[in-house]
Amino acid sequence: MPRIKLFLIATAFAAVACSGPSSPLQPGDRAPDFRADDLTGRTIYLNAELSRPVLLTFYATWCVPCRDEVPLLIDLHERLGEKVRVLCVVADPENKDKVRSFASSLSIPYPLLMDKEQRIMAAYKVKKLPASFLIGTDGRIHSVFNALGTDELPALEEAIGRCERNQ
């Protein structure tokens, strides 16, 4: 009998331990703080960036929709950089040279953060790329976006305006 109980306990524990993360964080959830190094080796802390809203986007070198949204993010940074801070989390930091080359070729002006061991991605429960979170100065997620394109831009800019008014 004790062996059966032990087996049942071990099976239950394994089922819980092997279950994947739940759905990505949603509006209203507290944004997990993190620190990560950018391509220059500078350490960025999310909480230190929250003097204005932060658009936190997740990217990988192999992700075509991720690469497609970069020009939109560059434009957003240039037009609204005083109102929102763009931070990009690189989900495949082992391709640092490829990321550096891509960033240089497009003159990406915002930080590209290396997500070693995908800890930030796990904290935000991101399962699919690209993914973006608009985080208000209160440290809460205000909006969540999948791939950003010109169709999503008005909603993103409206959400940034709401965040700015709620400061």
> What averages of pLDDT result for each successive group of 10 residues across the chain (167 residues)?
41 34 79 95 96 95 92 94 94 89 93 93 94 95 91 91 77
| Both tokens assigned to 95 | 């391709």
The conformation of residue 140, written as its DSSP 8-state character, comes to: B
Distance (Å) of CA 77 to CA 20, 25, 73: 34, 24, 6
* pLDDT given for residue 4 in this prediction: 46
- Secondary structure of residue 23 in the 3-state scheme: coil
* pLDDT given for residue 2 in this prediction: 52
* pLDDT given for residue 93 in this prediction: 83
Amino acid sitting at position 106:
L
73 with 86: CB under 8 angstroms?
yes
| Exposure on the CB side of residue 163, measured as CA atoms within 13 A | 29
68 with 147: CB under 8 angstroms?
yes
Q: What is the pTM of this model?
A: 0.84
* pLDDT given for residue 159 in this prediction: 92
CATH superfamily of 25-165: Glutaredoxin (3.40.30.10)
Taking the C-alpha atoms of residue 109 and residue 86, their distance in angstroms, rounded to an integer, is 9
Taking the C-alpha atoms of residue 121 and residue 43, their distance in angstroms, rounded to an integer, is 17
- Domain layout of the chain by residue ranges: 25-165
